[in-house]
Amino acid sequence: MPTPDRFRLDGQVVLLTGAGRGLGRAMALSYADAGAKVAGASRTRSQLEETADLVAERGGEAISIAADVTDPAAVEAMVAETIDRFGRIDILMNNAGGGAEGDGAPLEQLTDEQWRWGIDMNLTSQMLCARAVLPHMTERSDNRGGVIINVASGFGLRGGRDNWMYVSAKAGVVNFTRSLAVTYGPAGVRTNCIAPGIFPHTPQALERWRGGRYIPIGRVGLAWEMGPLAVFLSSDAAAGISGETIAQDGGGLAAIGPTGWAPRVRLTEPT
């Protein structure tokens, strides 16, 4: 098979959580470009429908599933709807997550409810989705297995000042990924993890992170950059890669503090 063909996902089905905006939307578009059918899920249907429209504009196929991925029953229903529509799930992209109320405050002010919600949103949700999807991957008649990709964070590989639930949950995602790879690899399921660095979604967030000038490549991440990595890890081109965590952070984890080096760059997408 020619090398470029190994990156194709023609006819495969990806269940992508957190697909309504940001990195999730960018990955949905990349999956569609690679030939996959996209089942996009998030809490907000209007955002999902915007993503599905963008996929359709690129000639792809997508459905929208409004779901709370912290609710076991909702996750089971999400998986069932995907199977009903497409007949199978080849790829689970566990992308949903985010900051939680209570992060940024002193630990002694943190409530039990805040702790539970932050862990549920960023770790338990990924367990629920994997648990629901795995039987459909391991019991396939064609023995193809499947691919699971969990999204962690650079903060899952280091600490953060007054950062409690997010760093704890994302660190859990890293080792959850390894355990999935060890346990279900013999059944043909590859599991890997992506640890994004700084990907601001607003001008205010960009300013907060000072434009990323302390990052070795001299800038923050661009949403589109997550898509090609997700496609690669989902494809046969990565057939020998499992149990790994790949940082998409411009070299941020390579240094403890600012490098002082900021090359001239343009924050533009490639044409």
Q: Where are the domains of the chain?
A: 3-251
Q: Is the pLDDT at 159 greater than 90, yes or no?
A: no
Among the listed residues 269, 220, 238, the one whose alpha carbon sits nearest the alpha carbon of residue 9: 238
What pLDDT does 203 receive?
Answer: 77
pLDDT band for position 257 (cuts 50, 70, 90): low
Query: Mean pLDDT for the chain?
Result: 91
- State the catalytic residues: 166
Query: Residue 215 in contact with residue 252, Cβ under 8 Å?
Result: yes
Q: Is the pLDDT at 107 greater than 50, yes or no?
A: yes
pLDDT: which is higher, 103 or 15: 15
Q: Is the pLDDT at 67 greater than 60, yes or no?
A: yes
pLDDT, average across residues 31-57? 97
Q: Is the pLDDT at 261 greater than 80, yes or no?
A: no
Query: Residue 249 in contact with residue 220, Cβ under 8 Å?
Result: no
What pLDDT does 265 receive?
Answer: 45
pLDDT band for position 256 (cuts 50, 70, 90): low
| CATH 3.20.20.70 matches 3-251 | no
Q: Is the pLDDT at 91 greater than 80, yes or no?
A: yes
pLDDT, average across residues 161-173? 93
What pLDDT does 270 receive?
Answer: 43
Could you tell me the pTM of the whole model? 0.91
